Amino acid sequence: MSGFLSNRRRRPPDKIGKWCRLSRTLLRDATHWDEVVTALGYEHLRRHDLRHTGLTWMADAGVKVHVLREIAGHGSLSTTQRYLHPDQRSIDAAGDALSAHLRAPRSPDGPRLRAV
């Protein structure tokens, strides 16, 4: 995976031979997608859903959003952010981190909390 990601460049859609673009139908048929998801009991699952899942998991693992943008091939961070779906555990962890920061002792000469 890391080799693929490091070599990824923005490029035109992949083609088979000279004239044929890789369509959704062609890719679905070539990978037996419908049969696989039916056998697993996930008939509602789309390949695109896996992009959301993968990017969310990478974000939960600490991958920075600007890196995720590059991996996904998005032009803007706002597009990438629509792919990220933090779970309740991640939201709770963010709240815990803020609480710990606010409870940390401060020296009179050190940085002060400020409203921005």
pLDDT tens digit sequence for 3-53:
655 555 444 555 555 556 667 777 777 788 888 888 999 989 888 888 899
The answer to whether residues 97 and 113 touch, using CB atoms and an 8 Å cutoff, is no
- Whole-model pTM? 0.57
User: What is the pLDDT averaged over residues 107-113?
Assistant: 71
CB 89 within 8 A of CB 95: no
Q: DSSP E strands: which ranges in 1-116?
A: 15-16, 20-21
